[in-house]
Amino acid sequence: MADSIGLITIDGPSGVGKGTLSALLAEKLGWNYLDSGALYRLTALACIQKEISLDNIIDDTESKIADIARTLDVKFLPQGGVLLEGKEVEALIRTESAGNNASKVAVITKVREALLQRQKNFFQAPGLVADGRDMGTTVFPQAPLKIFLTASAEERAKRRYKQLIEKGITVKMPDLVVEIQQRDDRDINRSASPLIAAQDAQTIDTSQLSIDEVYKEVLCLYQQIAV
Ligand code: DC
């Protein structure tokens, strides 16, 4: 293991803390970080900017969206933030509706295929923490450590509520729970790479755990396989 490229996949539903955990792990290990959800968010944003409706998507539009995904001009900045066609769009892709739009383009098989190689390209020395829905099942099935995070929809909505209020965004808790459940439904029930734990994934229920506790648990699992 010493000479090979490290790889940890972190999958799970929205609002479960994957992003925070993955970024923390990547920073502490000095590895690269793939935020695969951002690629779906960026694809959806690019569609909206090109005035392509994401409701009632038909066959023809699927191919157009896949072309957009394949040719996305994206740059993740080392200090955080992301450029789409040279413009900073971090705030634009982090809204609830951007997440919802991302999950609409993510059901399209051709879009998932179009983004596959781009995601694999992040697998570079010294290692990669890959965060998403299908990292352990489809994109990096070879990963020696696969984590699947869970937490109840209510707990995830509570966390999301806190984050949004801290950012000065007003939201209603019941609306948030419904949105999270709708997104879960779409992500779990799609036919292409649905949200599901890989057979060899370690599932961690984070409902009662702090981010630090989850981080320590994952690091401990990694150290067990890294010897
Ligand atoms: O992780 P996120 O909330 O940024 O993801 C936004 C949406 O993108 C999510 O609801 C489903 C989709 N997605 C996906 O289908 N596969 C991934 N690997 C990552 C995200």
Q: Which of 15, 60, 14 is nearest to 186 (CA)?
A: 14
Nearest CA to ligand 1 atom 10: 103
| pLDDT at residue number 221 | 97
Two structure tokens written together for 111 = 């879009």
Which atom of ligand 1 is least distant from the CA of 183?
A: 10
Classified as helix, coil or strand, 7 is: strand
Q: Which of 127, 128, 121, 148 is nearest to 137 (CA)?
A: 148
What single-letter DSSP state applies at residue 136? I
Q: What is the residue extent of each domain of the chain?
A: 6-222
- With a Cβ cut-off of 6 Å, ligand 1 is lined by 14, 36-37, 40-41, 99, 102-103, 106, 132-134, 183, 187
Write out pLDDT tens, residues 56-82: 888 789 999 999 999 999 999 988 899
Give distance in angstroms: CA of 2 to centre of ligand 1: 31
Q: How far apart are CA 132 and CA 119, in angstroms?
A: 11
Give distance in angstroms: CA of 227 to centre of ligand 1: 32
Write out pLDDT tens, residues 31-52: 999 999 999 999 999 999 999 9
Give distance in angstroms: CA of 215 to centre of ligand 1: 21
Q: How far apart are CA 100 and CA 33, in angstroms?
A: 22
| pLDDT at residue number 2 | 44
Confidence of residue 140 (pLDDT cuts 50, 70, 90): very high
Which atom of ligand 1 is least distant from the CA of 190?
A: 15
State whether the Cα torsion 158-163-166-169 is positive or negative.
negative
Confidence (pTM): 0.93
Q: Which CATH architecture has domain 6-222?
A: 3-Layer(aba) Sandwich (3.40)
